[in-house]
């Protein structure tokens, strides 16, 4: 099992460019999450998907969109990147009833 995988690992964008961060899990988990991690801020939830076909906003959704393509995949899109979106992005997944979330390795995004 690969667990939770994220692509790309690193990305540099210019202001105004768009991109999609990909996340996939092979653990048959129902719930999937996108977080961003900024220095001194801990992890903050951007969007989550409690099950296939549903998505909901988290704490900091502005500037992002998500797609739960199927049970395995949950993508995060930046339509018009801004320097404030420079961060490390983590995807996570969890079974419907679970004690822990499983995290991917993260994507380091820089917007210049």
Partner 1 sequence: AQKITQTQPGMFVQEKEAVTLDCTYDTSDPSYGLFWYKQPSSGEMIFLIYQGSYDQQNATEGRYSLNFQKARKSANLVISASQLGDSAMYFCAMRELRINFGNEKLTFGTGTRLTIIP
- Of the pair 17, 50, the CB lying nearest partner 1 is at 50
Q: Which is nearer to partner 1, 30 or 75 (CB)?
A: 30
Sign, CA torsion 36/43/75/79: negative
Contact 13, 81 (CB under 8 A): yes
* Residue from 7, 98, 110, 112 in contact with partner 1 (CB under 8 A): 98
Query: Rule CB under 8 A: is residue 103 a binding residue for partner 1?
Result: yes
Whether 4 and 104 have beta carbons less than 8 Å apart is answered as yes
**Binding-residue pattern over the window 33 to 72 for partner 1, x denoting contact by CB under 8 A:** x-x----xxxxxx--x-x-----x-xx-------------
Query: Given the rule CB under 8 A, which of 10-18, 67-75, 76-84, 92-100 is the region that contacts partner 1?
Result: 92-100
What is the distance between the alpha carbons of residues 81 and 96, in angstroms, rounded to a whole number? Answer: 32
**Residue labelled with tokens 């979106």:** 85
4 and 92 Cβ atoms separated by less than 8 Å: yes
By CB under 8 A, name the binding residues for partner 1: 31, 33, 35, 40-45, 48, 50, 56, 58-59, 88, 90, 92, 94, 98-103, 105-106
């Amino acid at each position: 099992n690969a667990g939770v995988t994220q692509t790309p690992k690193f990305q540099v964008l210019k202001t105004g460019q768009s991109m999609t961060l990909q996340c996939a899990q092979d653990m048959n988990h129902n719930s999937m999450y996108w977080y961003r991690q900024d220095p001194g801020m801990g992890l903050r939830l951007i969007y989550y998907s409690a099950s296939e076909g549903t998505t909901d906003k988290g704490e900091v959704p502005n500037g992002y969109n998500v797609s739960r393509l199927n049970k395995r995949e949950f993508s995060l899109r930046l339509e018009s990147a801004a320097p404030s979106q420079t961060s490390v992005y983590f995807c996570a997944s969890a079974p419907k009833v679970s004690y822990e979330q499983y995290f991917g390795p993260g994507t380091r995004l820089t917007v210049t």
